[in-house]
Structure 1
Amino acid sequence: MSDCNESQGKSSWPELVGVEGTVAAATIRRENPLVNTIIVPEGTFVTADFRLDRVRVWVDTYGIVIRVPIIG
């Protein structure tokens, strides 16, 4: 997913893979205050709905981001 225009904020954060999950979530909230961040442990079942106001931050058992956080 590409970045939205500047007025809507960023829509993906590839630079956060490998970062601690809570730090990544705070960065996302700072860079796009229009979205809610949710830290999700690897292997957790989630809904398949697409939401423009949500970013899931997938983390491993050590709390490190393992997927590119994107809006959805």
Structure 2
Amino acid sequence: MAGGEQKTSWPEVVGLPTKEAKEIILKDMPRADIVVLPVGSYVTHDLNLNRVRIFVDTVAQTPTVG
């Protein structure tokens, strides 16, 4: 980013695995506090310039009892 501007969104990570998305975000913003949440989660509306929220909605494995 020119002029020292900080990136504020990452549309290119939509559809990627969470781990890969985190790696891409951390390349652009190494001090990011990345929080992974289920889609639809309630979140605070406070401004935290180091926080990046990733919302996920995919079940990766079959849920089992035990």
What is the TM-score when the length of structure 1 is the normalising length? 0.66
1:10 to 7, 16, 25: 7
Q: Is the Cα–Cα contact under 8 Å of residues 40 and 59 in structure 1 kept in the other structure?
A: yes
Number of residue pairs the alignment of both structures matches: 60
* Aligned residue in 2 for 1:44: 41
Shift of 1:35: 1.5
Structure with higher RCO (Cα < 8 A, 6+ apart): 1
- The amino acid of 1:37's aligned partner reads I
Shift of 1:6: 5.5
Q: Is the Cα–Cα contact under 8 Å of residues 25 and 39 in structure 1 kept in the other structure?
A: no
**Kindly, what percent of the aligned residue pairs are identical?**
37
- The amino acid of 2:52's aligned partner reads V
Shift of 1:8: 5.2
Q: List runs of 5+ in structure 1 lacking aligned partners.
A: 64-72
Please say which structure displays the higher CA radius of gyration. 2
Q: List runs of 5+ in structure 2 lacking aligned partners.
A: 61-66
Residue 53 of structure 2 corresponds to residue 56 of structure 1:
yes
Shift of 1:58: 0.7
Aligned partners of 2:18 and 2:25: how far apart in 1? 10
What is the TM-score when the length of structure 2 is the normalising length? 0.70
